[in-house]
Chain A
């Protein structure tokens, strides 16, 4: 087991296109880190550089304190789980799991012991003599994980392992992966484009975009304190609303001026933080769950405003309402019993203690 360190890691392709533009990342021993971002953000490339499947164009990657830039994958002591499982179709489950150990010339009893152990962890003992073709998607996923576990490597690498599963199985396997990690405690780097996976699995989430790291932190921190507009918009579903607004200083109080002449007071504990921004154009960020039907108006920082929903989407435990605020699309979450109907006025309320103010130029959260 080991920590993984990335120092100014660059991946450049011929023709000068950079997929990864110099990233730094420290992954602690036994930590479960998830790289998340839209496709093409460089997360998979980063993972593949850690695995040794892609050459590192610049910078340094070390595993367990040892620089691995020049070490081929087989000698990095890592194991990887692929999106399409990459099980050897001509080998049984047991042979698939044993292959890496066999190539490393482990004694037969040791191989059998490890395969049995991993099979027990993953609950696939009855499948050991089957071929991959005879397995369901979830079972294949387990075997792919088993192949990683038997090797007892320094690091587990997961490359979008759940994207080929249907929604229900994905949730189930997610828990499974978390359980396995809690059992074996191997340092894990996990790549996904699905922010829910990232939030649920990770000790720390690394949000990547355009070949750079936008933010690193525990899931809750990323959710509540995003550093940039990209992170704020990427984490959470439905996505955070961004509304062009203006901060105004009027009669000693700081106020937010939203389109449609809605003016809301900035909570007192935030005034000092935003005081310098008075009179500036900003982006007002608010998550849908903090835009509800008008209730709890007696609570501090909850301010009412009127809205006319254009579309309502009942989800069962809540209803999503979409309305326009002077052209800007805004989404709120209301109680399923709230009188939300398309085209009918609905009094809404915004919880300003959870608002974010962003710089419209840099996209940074202020």
Chain B
């Protein structure tokens, strides 16, 4: 019986199965795209609504009769006013100053430390590397109250400089951690070749490690930039006068007077404040993501 059935039966189901696999795959794909679309809409709603509101006049915002999701008479009035009046430009400048300083400090401190930790075994180096990672896991909300006292006692209350001093605590540990990983992945023979070629440790770092680990350094830099640009609780706690504020706290403090919310300008200001990280992300996406995921391993 088996022998007679053999030539025909396997043939038919095989063909049907091929068809069903293709159909199954097509349905899975359609399902995937639907899921993606739903989440893209969910994820994009706030930025989209932000953009729409920022293009509206205060009259149009206050008008409850229309559809709030679309703009009828787009105007750049809100942007224009932010750029020409008030303290928005000061906040922007302050954010740039603090972020640039933080990035520079973070990169210098963490590159040097990571080089030593990745390549020069010394007393306590393993403990220090672990300590670096644990420090990275300390959230700033745990320390902002004592920091408030410390900053105050240093006379840096309500001073932009305090941010330059404190923000590196948010960036340096993680930057060091991922740079240890990047440096550790450089083959040991490269150091030895450099050593035989006559390089000192500093030359080795400067002429070999930094150029070779440039992608990693870029990833760490992007991380430092985004963290410092987004920092909120320290500016919130330590900066009170508008001329010292950075964007994350400045927008709200200046555009909300008692109960008047200038929503159009708030949204325009928020959108412009979100632009630098978005641009960095758009142009350096691979490095951005590399930095993001590098924390899960040391190498």
Partners in one complex: yes
Is A74's CB under 8 angstroms from B195's CB? yes
Is A210 interfacial (CB 8 A cutoff)? no
Nearest to B190 among chain A residues (CB) is: A86
Is A90's CB under 8 angstroms from B189's CB? no
Q: Could you say which of A74, A79, A88, A104 contacts B208, with CB atoms under 8 Å apart?
A: A88
Give Cα A79–Cα B189 distance, bound, in whole angstroms: 13
Is B212's CB under 8 angstroms from A89's CB? yes
Is B189's CB under 8 angstroms from A83's CB? yes
Taking the closest CB of chain A, its distance from the CB of B205, in whole angstroms, is: 13
Is B1 interfacial (CB 8 A cutoff)? no
Q: How many interface contacts (CB-CB < 8 Å) are there between A and B?
A: 59
Is B63 interfacial (CB 8 A cutoff)? no
Is A230 interfacial (CB 8 A cutoff)? no
Given the contacts A90-B211, A103-B203, A82 and B193 also touching, CB distance less than 8 Å: yes
Is B187's CB under 8 angstroms from A86's CB? yes
Is B199 interfacial (CB 8 A cutoff)? yes
Is B212's CB under 8 angstroms from A90's CB? yes
Give Cα A250–Cα B199 distance, bound, in whole angstroms: 71
Is A99 interfacial (CB 8 A cutoff)? yes
Is B259 interfacial (CB 8 A cutoff)? no
Q: Could you say which of B197, B211, B214 contacts A74, with CB atoms under 8 Å apart?
A: B197
Taking the closest CB of chain B, its distance from the CB of A53, in whole angstroms, is: 5
Is A56 interfacial (CB 8 A cutoff)? no
Give Cα A208–Cα B85 distance, bound, in whole angstroms: 81
Interface size on B, residues (CB 8 A): 17
Taking the closest CB of chain A, its distance from the CB of B201, in whole angstroms, is: 11
Is B192 interfacial (CB 8 A cutoff)? yes
Chain A residues 125-161 with CB under 8 Å of chain B are 147, 151
Contacts of A82 in B (CB 8 A): 189, 192-193
Is B198's CB under 8 angstroms from A104's CB? yes
Give Cα A83–Cα B197 distance, bound, in whole angstroms: 16
Contacts of A87 in B (CB 8 A): 193
Nearest to B203 among chain A residues (CB) is: A103
Is A84 interfacial (CB 8 A cutoff)? yes
Contacts of A363 in B (CB 8 A): none
Given the contacts A86-B187, A88-B212, A89-B212, A80 and B193 also touching, CB distance less than 8 Å: yes
Give Cα A104–Cα B212 distance, bound, in whole angstroms: 22
Nearest to B195 among chain A residues (CB) is: A73
Taking the closest CB of chain A, its distance from the CB of B218, in whole angstroms, is: 14
Is B196 interfacial (CB 8 A cutoff)? yes
Is A100's CB under 8 angstroms from B203's CB? no
Give Cα A99–Cα B211 distance, bound, in whole angstroms: 14
Is B199's CB under 8 angstroms from A74's CB? yes
22 A–B contacts, CB within 8 A, in A order: A52-B196, A53-B196, A73-B196, A74-B195, A74-B196, A80-B196, A82-B192, A84-B189, A86-B187, A86-B193, A88-B193, A88-B194, A88-B208, A89-B212, A99-B199, A99-B207, A100-B196, A100-B197, A103-B197, A103-B203, A147-B197, A151-B197
Is B192's CB under 8 angstroms from A86's CB? yes
Contacts of B196 in A (CB 8 A): 51-53, 73-74, 78-80, 100
Contacts of B193 in A (CB 8 A): 80, 82, 86-88, 147
Contacts of B214 in A (CB 8 A): 90
The contact string, 1 if C-beta is below 8 Å from chain B, for chain A 68-94, is 000011100011101111111110000
Contacts of A73 in B (CB 8 A): 192, 195-196
Give Cα A8–Cα B203 distance, bound, in whole angstroms: 35
Q: Could you say which of A80, A89, A100, A103 contacts B192, with CB atoms under 8 Å apart?
A: A80
Is B187's CB under 8 angstroms from A103's CB? no
Q: Could you say which of A52, A86, A147 contacts B189, with CB atoms under 8 Å apart?
A: A86
Contacts of A83 in B (CB 8 A): 189
Taking the closest CB of chain A, its distance from the CB of B182, in whole angstroms, is: 13
Chain A residues 38-82 with CB under 8 Å of chain B are 51-53, 72-74, 78-80, 82
Contacts of A53 in B (CB 8 A): 192, 195-196
Closest 3 CB pairs of A and B: A100-B197, A86-B189, A74-B198
Taking the closest CB of chain B, its distance from the CB of A16, in whole angstroms, is: 20
Give Cα A78–Cα B194 distance, bound, in whole angstroms: 12
Contacts of A103 in B (CB 8 A): 197-199, 203
Chain B residues 167-213 with CB under 8 Å of chain A are 187, 189-190, 192-199, 203, 207-208, 211-212
Give Cα A37–Cα B74 distance, bound, in whole angstroms: 80
Chain B residues 7-24 with CB under 8 Å of chain A are none
Give Cα A88–Cα B204 distance, bound, in whole angstroms: 11
10 other A-B residue contacts (CB within 8 Å) besides A74-B198, A88-B211: A52-B195, A73-B195, A78-B196, A83-B189, A84-B187, A86-B187, A88-B190, A89-B212, A99-B194, A100-B196
Contacts of A80 in B (CB 8 A): 192-193, 196
Contacts of A74 in B (CB 8 A): 195-199
Nearest to B191 among chain A residues (CB) is: A86
Give Cα A89–Cα B209 distance, bound, in whole angstroms: 10
Contacts of A147 in B (CB 8 A): 193, 197
Nearest to B186 among chain A residues (CB) is: A89
Give Cα A83–Cα B190 distance, bound, in whole angstroms: 11
